[in-house]
Amino acid sequence: MESQIPTGTAPGSLAGLRVVELGTSVAGPTTGQILGDLGAEVIKVERVGAGDDTRGWAPPYWGSEPMAFLGLNRNKKSLALDFKDGRGVQVLERLVAGADVLVQNLRPGALAKVGFDLERLRELNPRLVYCEMSGFGPVGPRASEPAYDPLLQAYSGIVSLLDTGEGPPMRVPLSILDKGTGMWAVIGILDALRRRDQSGKGSHVEVSLLQTAVSWVDQKVMGSRAGNPAPRNLGSGHPGVVPYGAFPVEDGHVFISAGNQTLWTRLVEALGARELMERPGFGSNPERAERRAEVNEAVSAATRAFATDELLERLAAAGVPSAPVRPVHEVADDPQVRAVGLVTPLPHPNVPELEVVHLPVTFDGAYLPHQCPPPELGQHSVALLQDLGFSGDEVELMMADGVVGSTATAVGTSA
């Protein structure tokens, strides 16, 4: 099945805005990529020689390119710059002076050490929206410490929710805090841009992995403050809904959610197990929650009689929410995923067959178009420096001295 949702031709509403991204790893680049998806010009400032950390996170590769970088850096221009050098500082000053947004997730204090504290940024550009991202937040005993997604999953209690008591604690194997923090940053930046429309002044937006993590476990935190016992690990289950979770079938598992009494009735009828309606302690959801293991075993005994497709057909006919538990490598070819057109080609010079996942939002029935594939390191350095007013001789000298890196073969060209 081909996509039934087209990709539009008109750029997003942020077209005409310039974003400078001093981002590395996941959180900062996520913010920059979303802003680029929305139409902004995003200039990604990277270290000369090495670039963003994710350029070295491999395997996996797509062709010769690390997947980690490809997945987080489309719709950006790359400027390879040593801004610890005085001339690099001048470049960054000019960039900031002409930018609408500055996003950074460097180690806490790193930007201030080279002269770009909040006061200096405001001197350079009073209209600048400055988004600062950190691990533990701007204040407190751990504010100066760097952090990564799995560390904050552990610190915030997320890992404890996955603890089965067998083997070492496990994290959610996705960058849920990095990407979540990147999304919160975009929300904050969009609000700050709207405030600027009203006041003419920029804002300082701050987000952190810790604050994102605590917001993800907000109901668990509220429960602890209310005096409720620490939540038990329920596997794929839900503390307040039974049955809910992955149940065995002949050829795998099916996820089932019977979120109310009507769905419970429909479920047992679809399973041919109406006798469960009459079993003592199975009558209401609170009763079933008290007998969770017994209910789950009874439902499992019924689901084991079916293959995946047969059970899904029965549950769909009965109106019971369900889904197959499938490996992620099958998802891109799923008929529903193909119908909504999320996976789309974005040819790259080194990866002609590259496909990416759209920003998962449509506007008037269409996805936003992509501006460009993920850049090579320093691909746009020369053109950007010339746009900032540096002469050809100045650019050549900075390149020769290692202040600037570029894939351009000569000043006046860009790869």
Catalytic residues: 238
Residue from 378, 369, 367 nearest 404 by CA: 378
Q: Taking the CA atoms of the chain, what radius of gyration do you get in angstroms?
A: 26
For residue 234, give both structure tokens. Answer: 């329920």
Strands 77-81 and 404-405: antiparallel
Q: Tell me the Ramachandran region of residue 252: left when phi exceeds 0, alpha when psi lies from -120 to 50, beta otherwise.
A: left
The three-class DSSP label of residue 100 is: coil
Cβ pair 322, 246 in contact under 8 A: no
The Cα–Cα gap between 22 and 111 comes to 9
Cβ pair 386, 371 in contact under 8 A: no
List, in order, residues 6 or more apart from 405 with CB less than 8 Å away: 48, 49, 80, 81, 377, 378, 381, 399
The Cα–Cα gap between 207 and 212 comes to 8
The Cα–Cα gap between 343 and 354 comes to 10
**Angle value at C-alpha 61, between 60 and 62, nearest 5 degrees:** 135
